[in-house]
Amino acid sequence: MSTESTAGPAKIRLRHLQQAKVEGRPFTMLTAYDQFSAQIFESAGIEVLLVGDSVGTTVLGHASTTASTHQDMLTFTGAVARSVTRPLVVADLAFGTYESGPADALRHGVELVRAGAEAVKLEGGAEIVPQVRALVDAGIPVVGHLGFTPQSVNSLSGHRVQGRGDAAAEKLVVDALALQGAGAAAVVLELVPAAVAEAVTEALEVPTIGIGAGPRCDGQVLVWQDMAGLSGFHGKFVKAFADLRGQLQAAAEQYRAEVGERRYPGPEHSFD
């Protein structure tokens, strides 16, 4: 007998994402790095929270995700994992923690799981199959990441759409199938032409999760500060569903004005 209510499962597992793909129901993933944003996204019903290495560029002030460290990922994964119960928590393996081989990937993956991750994400295709196998064999679910892979921003010569042209599109499908064959439970597709992302999605049994990859992926992911209009980043693939930057600035300006005019704190904010 199923214990799942009509509101959906009390805890999102990878099998629910798989089920969503089979049933043609798109699901959502948002990045999260801290307690309050994670809790708000849980309340909003977001199924998957990604503690992305984008924490480096959205929270820590770095220019590239290559600056995010394993310790950063452990700290922010712990913060998110302790703050929510329902969403699936996925954490990024930081740049430099898995490229050298399966043993390194496994060691760092185990530490992310100890910090609270329920799956780990790493960037790359067929070349990281041994790492994916080692993680999966150890019981650590893996999410792949293809297309524009931010940790390779230097070798990809900047933020550019990947998979254009027949050969590149074919390579994406081959890489995605290799990740799936190694046991990956889902694959993120970043900055990929919509038609190519659709072809990858059709070729795979596991779900694809798109960011700048059109509407036909099984799920969608955005960096939360872009989604909420806090970062001010207006890339073509981004839709800002709020104006947090404007609202926060207005609030700070009003606070400053009220303090300057001695209107805040008032008697109701003061102790006898």
Q: Could you give the 3-state DSSP secondary structure of residue 20?
A: helix
Summarize the annotated binding site for Mg(2+) as residue ranges. Answer: 53, 92, 123
191 part of the interface to ligand KIV, by CB under 6 A: no
DSSP readout, 34-93?
SHHHHHHHHHTT-SEEEE-TTHHHHTS--SSGGG--HHHHHHHHHHHHHH-SSSEEEEEP
Binding mask 204-243 for ligand KIV (x = CB under 6 A): -------x---------x-x--------------------
Closest CA to 46 of 90, 4, 77, 88: 88
Summarize the annotated binding site as residue ranges. Answer: 53-54, 92, 121, 123
Q: Which tokens is 122 given?
A: 């790493």
151 part of the interface to ligand KIV, by CB under 6 A: no
Q: How far is CA 212 from the centre of its chain?
A: 13
What is the smallest separation between the CB atom of 223 and ligand KIV, expressed in angstroms?
5
Query: Is 4 considered catalytic here?
Result: no
What is the smallest separation between the CB atom of 8 and ligand KIV, expressed in angstroms?
23
For ligand KIV, give the closer residue by CB, 49 or 178.
49
97 part of the interface to ligand KIV, by CB under 6 A: no
Which residues are near ligand KIV by CB under 6 A? 31, 50, 52-54, 92, 188, 190, 211, 221, 223
Q: Which residues are catalytic?
A: 190
